[in-house]
Amino acid sequence: MSRPYSKPQFHRGGRRHNDGNEYVRRWPSGHESGRRGGYRGRGGGGGAVGRGDGGAGGKAPQSTLMTTLLDLLFQKSSNTIFDPQSGMLNLSNFRQSEDLSAVQESVDFNNVTFCKSLVNVIKNNIGSSLRILSINSNQIQKLSVFLTQLEEADVHRGITAISATDNQINDFAFLGPLKRYGCLGELLLEGNPVAKREDYASQIVRKLQILVMLDGQVINRMPLRLPNPVPVNLNDMQCSVLFFMRVY
């Protein structure tokens, strides 16, 4: 069961910190993996992902190369991009990772093939431990593409919070997949064109009934109020009793 929410204090342009006991401790502003040196073979050694001219098997298919690089990245930088204690996966500014420089142009969260490769690697390395997903600053226009792949791989069930700030999302297509994220309690979309729409908050709050926080603010859902039932066909004795109860 997720820990109760309390209103976090967010700071623009850097790390975001929460006070109290909420589970979202930090929203990274950029991808921090790959800074200890990467798997970037450049010579003619013929490695599986070598960038030189002497590869043993010729040029590998782009999807296979991407999957291999992603898998190596997760294995090498698992302690940097994934926190097993909180279940937080940090894929922010993912395209700038040094480990993906060989396929940088193909790192595209709007592309089904890339998202499928990435989600398969996530499933193989993290499985159902994913709780918090940070995909800030990834030039995402169609958030639904990545969300759908997570759902199809069945690694979406435990996700409680998603941060996709500073992207290029401009419509509500992502709400369809998010309806099937049954544990989602927090969503951050600041810095996207869609967040400037007048109906932004109302659309999200109405469609995602279990959401508790939006862009760092607790959602105030008014309790459902029904009109008092109006009695009909009461005899004189029943009317007298009701009158007595109202007066006294």
Residue 65 has a pLDDT of: 83
Digits of tens for pLDDT over the chain (248 positions)? 444 444 444 444 444 444 433 444 445 554 444 333 333 333 333 333 333 333 444 444 567 888 888 999 998 887 889 999 999 999 999 989 888 888 888 999 999 999 999 999 999 999 999 999 999 999 999 999 999 999 999 999 999 999 999 999 999 999 999 999 999 999 999 999 999 999 999 999 999 999 999 999 999 887 656 666 665 676 777 667 766 666 66
Residue 63 has a pLDDT of: 73
Structure tokens that stand for 27 in this block = 């929203």
Structure tokens that stand for 138 in this block = 């990834």
Q: How far is CA 6 from the centre of its chain?
A: 19
**CATH homologous superfamily for the domain 16-247:** Ribonuclease Inhibitor (3.80.10.10)
Sequence ranges of the domains in the chain: 16-247
Residue 115 has a pLDDT of: 96
Residue 247 has a pLDDT of: 65
Question: What's this model's pTM, rounded to 2 decimal places?
Answer: 0.68
Residue 151 has a pLDDT of: 97
Length of the chain: 248
Residue 234 has a pLDDT of: 65
The answer for residues whose C-beta is within 8 angstroms of residue 131's C-beta and 6 or more apart is: 23, 86, 87, 88, 158, 159, 160, 161
In this predicted model, what pLDDT tens digit does every residue of 130-145 receive, in sequence order? 999 999 999 999 999 9
On whether the CB atoms of residues 169 and 192 are closer than 8 A, the answer is yes
Residue 214 has a pLDDT of: 98
On whether the CB atoms of residues 183 and 157 are closer than 8 A, the answer is yes
Q: What is the mean pLDDT of the chain?
A: 78
Residue 27 has a pLDDT of: 53
Structure tokens that stand for 163 in this block = 């941060």
Residue 9 has a pLDDT of: 45
Residue 154 has a pLDDT of: 96
